[in-house]
Amino acid sequence: MTTGAAIGAVFPIFRQINEDLAMPNSSSNSPIDSLQHEDRRFPPSATFIKNRVAEPGLYGEAQENRLEFWARQARELHWHKAFSETLDWSNPPFARWFADGTLNVAYNCLDRHVLAGNGDRVALHWEGEPGDSRSISYAELTAEVKRAANVLLGLGVLPGDRVAVYLPMIPEAVISMLAIARIGAVHSVIFGGFSADSVRDRIDDADVKLVITADGGWRKGKVLPLKPTVDAALARVGNHSVSKVLVVKRGENTIEWSDARDLWWHEALANAAPEHEAQSFEAEQPLFILYTSGTTGKPKGILHTSGGYLTQVAFTHKNVFDLHPETDVYWCTADVGWVTGHSYVVYGPLANGATQVMYEGVPDAPAAGRWWKIIEKYGVTILYAAPTAIRTFMKLGREIPQASDLSSLRLLGSVGEPINPEAWVWYREVIGSGLTPIVDTWWQTETGGIMISALPGITTTKPGSAQVAIPGISIDVLTDAGEPVPTGGGGLLVVTKPWPAMLRGIWNDPDRFRKTYWSSFTGTDGAPLYFAGDGARLDDDGELWLLGRVDDVMNISGHRLSTAEIESALVSHPIVAESAVVGASDETTGQAVVAFVILRAKQLDKQTEAEASVLLRKHVAEQIGAIARPRDVIIVTELPKTRSGKIMRRLLRDAAEGRAIGDVTTLADPAVMNSIVDRLAEHRPADFNN
Ligand code: PRX
């Protein structure tokens, strides 16, 4: 039994989930369509079972002794000094895993594979968007990381110092992250699509000492400049201590240069000593900070440490993806700027000695079939991608993937947002020849590694459901009063026991860490439970269906954005008086940003309003990054508010999704919603796709 705060009051969308549960036939594009009854089952094939990596005994073993189970997984890594204590949870929510052990994360991802005789194995088959490519063996990758580590040391980077990485998907991104880890420094990778302001906020918050960037990278057939964004960010930062910027030459675009501050990566590496012996660091040595959106305008710097993180990402990468490192060619399409890129492009696969594909560009450059050509070219066996991409391909038609030979694929993964059963089945049928298992993996930036997923070769898969917690992870779904929901019920997803890859905090903000994740529910032992911010449902088999966020966080194409962040970008524009942002369900991207804006000059003609809408979409993209650009900016004259002045976003969501408007009786002026619905109707056909 647990105790809970009045979550329904805190998270109004939670009430929405319960209402939606009562009407299972709501819009087929919302995550709620996963509430429909699903009868299809796909048991593992006999051949898959024969060669499976994950043993069914893992569940029992973890059940019997969770800590010993994780200790055994941790011992698969190379420890400079063995740990004697698995978990210290004496000061929750601050966990310490394997704390008296020491290791080097990069050594685990590189040197030990070379020493084991696998130096010639390809670590990265890198494919540039324009068609150039490079295959890099473990021995070569190790050599590059050693040189890069020496460059960082030469620039005065010390253990614990923060280094920002703002790079395209090129091998140097992986090399940088591993070099930073190798010397015990902390990386903060910033997605290459973020704006100068977003880069500046992250540099400032983490007090970054050095930035690694590129002149530019290829995206959609053009060079997207990156260094100019870093220049602009650094020009604006108040008290940052960035003294050097290392620049990889990739885009060959013209850039400005500061002799005192900027260094070319290739020159620095060429001049660096080739040897570097990896020192060991404590298991709790910070490994990285990764910023993610919360419910306020300020992104949170999620902190991860070394030993526990590496243990869980290596374990899950091996068992969830059924990895046979000698024969598999694995491809995770995520950018290293997101957590999926950290855990399942860099640390998990490399810790396991996998061979993987890394691709720089977008799926439709130069044409829509690029991904499938890459799979054919490298004989990719395991593909890990996001539902938004799958739904986009579905729309374009099966002829495009069918033009390539995809017969090498034997396992497909999904991550980042709920995958609707229709997309799941298409993925299996069209991409996986109707044969491959699909693993729908639920996890978060905060959890560090996969938490809920089928295990291929063991689990009978079910379209639309993420299914069960992986061995060693304890998940529950609770009512807002903290009671476990019965099967068939919906509630809030919690993690009831600490796990090795769990976040260790929010950078510089322990109070926010406690409040955001650990203050909603308490376990019977008095320790706080981790509240994930997601709604979930338990089906009749006791399996999990994820229902999306219950807070003011949106999930656009599998990327997290907060409504508050976009609202604050909007009101930073001088023409905006007030704004309210909601995530409305979208057929392709899962959710889309819809902004309702009151302009300062209230009496504008329609033409000027349309221009304002275009201008503001651009403004948000400039302020935060293109991923945050609203799909719609609706100019309104009033927003729906309660008598105490609180904006009722739920009603705006109803309107944006074309549903009947819910209860308006608590509005100060119930007529407001009528005019908003009218505005939406006028807006849609005109500038939907601007
Ligand atoms: O709402 C859940 C959704 O993505 C959120 C985490 O976002 P982020 O930290 O950016 O990490 C994304 C990649 C791990 C979660 O709170 N989410 C992630 N995976 C799934 C999912 N929702 C449903 N099904 C999933 N498989």
Pocket test for ligand 1, best of 14, 438, 534 (most atoms within 8 A of CB): 534
Instruction: Tell me the percentage of the chain whose pLDDT exceeds 90.
Output: 87
Non-local (6+) Cβ contacts of 301 within 8 A are 188, 202, 205, 206, 289, 290, 291, 506, 507, 508, 509
Question: 552-690: which CATH topology?
Answer: GMP Synthetase; Chain A, domain 3 (3.30.300)
Q: What is the 3-state secondary structure (H, E, C) of 144-197?
A: HHHHHHHHHHHCCCCCCCEEEEECCCCHHHHHHHHHHHHCCCEEEECCCCECHH
Give the integer Cα–Cα distance in Å for 306 and 450: 16
For the chain, the structural domain boundaries read 1-32+474-541, 65-362, 552-690
Among 243, 248, 209, CA closest to 226: 248
Residue 172 scores a pLDDT above 90: yes
Which is the closest atom of ligand 1 to the Cα of 452?
Answer: 26
Residue 79 scores a pLDDT above 80: yes
Decide whether any atom of ligand 1 lies within 6 Å of the 534 Cβ: yes
Residue 607 scores a pLDDT above 90: no
Decide whether any atom of ligand 1 lies within 6 Å of the 286 Cβ: no
Pocket test for ligand 1, best of 342, 442, 531, 585 (most atoms within 8 A of CB): 442
Over residues 357-384, mean pLDDT: 97
- For the stretch 213-237, pLDDT in tens is 999 999 999 999 999 999 999 998 6
Write the DSSP string, 496-560. -S--TT---EETT-HHHHHHHHHSSEE-TTSPBPEEEEEEEEE-TTS-EEEEEESSSEEEETTEE
Distance from the alpha carbon of residue 559 to the mean position of ligand 1, in angstroms: 8
- For the stretch 572-596, pLDDT in tens is 999 999 999 999 999 999 999 999 9
Give the integer Cα–Cα distance in Å for 62 and 268: 47
Decide whether any atom of ligand 1 lies within 6 Å of the 415 Cβ: yes
Category of 467 on φ-ψ map: left (φ > 0), alpha (ψ -120 to 50) or beta: left
Distance from the alpha carbon of residue 663 to the mean position of ligand 1, in angstroms: 30
Decide whether any atom of ligand 1 lies within 6 Å of the 560 Cβ: yes
Decide whether any atom of ligand 1 lies within 6 Å of the 416 Cβ: yes
- For the stretch 98-150, pLDDT in tens is 999 999 999 999 999 999 999 999 999 999 999 999 999 999 999 999 999 99
Distance from the alpha carbon of residue 544 to the mean position of ligand 1, in angstroms: 14
Give the integer Cα–Cα distance in Å for 308 and 67: 12
Pocket test for ligand 1, best of 440, 443, 450, 452 (most atoms within 8 A of CB): 443
Give the integer Cα–Cα distance in Å for 635 and 347: 45
pLDDT number for residue 28: 35
690 pLDDT band, cuts 50/70/90, is: very low
609 pLDDT band, cuts 50/70/90, is: confident
**Least confident range of 29-38, 109-118, 532-541, 559-568:** 29-38
**Least confident range of 457-461, 463-467, 514-518, 556-560:** 556-560
Decide whether any atom of ligand 1 lies within 6 Å of the 441 Cβ: yes
Distance from the alpha carbon of residue 77 to the mean position of ligand 1, in angstroms: 27
Domain 1-32+474-541 part of CATH 2.30.38.10 = yes
pLDDT number for residue 688: 37
pLDDT number for residue 684: 63
pLDDT number for residue 13: 45
Distance from the alpha carbon of residue 98 to the mean position of ligand 1, in angstroms: 27
Decide whether any atom of ligand 1 lies within 6 Å of the 299 Cβ: no
- For the stretch 676-686, pLDDT in tens is 999 998 886 54
38 pLDDT band, cuts 50/70/90, is: confident
Beta partners for 223?
A: 218
- For the stretch 438-471, pLDDT in tens is 999 999 999 999 999 999 999 999 999 999 999 9
For the structural domain made of 65-362, what CATH number should be given?
Answer: 3.40.50.12780
Give the integer Cα–Cα distance in Å for 215 and 600: 39
Distance from the alpha carbon of residue 657 to the mean position of ligand 1, in angstroms: 21
As a whole number, the mean pLDDT across the chain is: 93
pLDDT number for residue 298: 87
Residue 605 scores a pLDDT above 90: no
Distance from the alpha carbon of residue 201 to the mean position of ligand 1, in angstroms: 23
- For the stretch 284-343, pLDDT in tens is 999 999 999 988 888 999 999 999 999 999 999 999 999 999 999 999 999 999 999 999
pLDDT number for residue 657: 93
Decide whether any atom of ligand 1 lies within 6 Å of the 490 Cβ: no
Give the integer Cα–Cα distance in Å for 624 and 270: 36
Distance from the alpha carbon of residue 199 to the mean position of ligand 1, in angstroms: 23
pLDDT number for residue 227: 98
Residue 561 scores a pLDDT above 60: yes
Task: Give the three-state DSSP class for 287.
Answer: strand
Write the residue with the smallest CA distance to atom 7 of ligand 1. Answer: 444
- For the stretch 17-26, pLDDT in tens is 444 444 333 3
pLDDT number for residue 310: 99
- For the stretch 414-428, pLDDT in tens is 999 999 999 999 999
Give the integer Cα–Cα distance in Å for 97 and 87: 5
Among 669, 652, 522, CA closest to 582: 652
pLDDT number for residue 30: 40
- For the stretch 89-100, pLDDT in tens is 999 999 999 999
CA angle 561, 562, 567 (to 5 degrees): 115
Give the integer Cα–Cα distance in Å for 66 and 43: 27
Q: Which residue has the higher pLDDT, 675 or 15?
A: 675
Decide whether any atom of ligand 1 lies within 6 Å of the 417 Cβ: yes
- Two tokens, residue 378: 């490298």
pLDDT number for residue 36: 53
pLDDT number for residue 1: 42
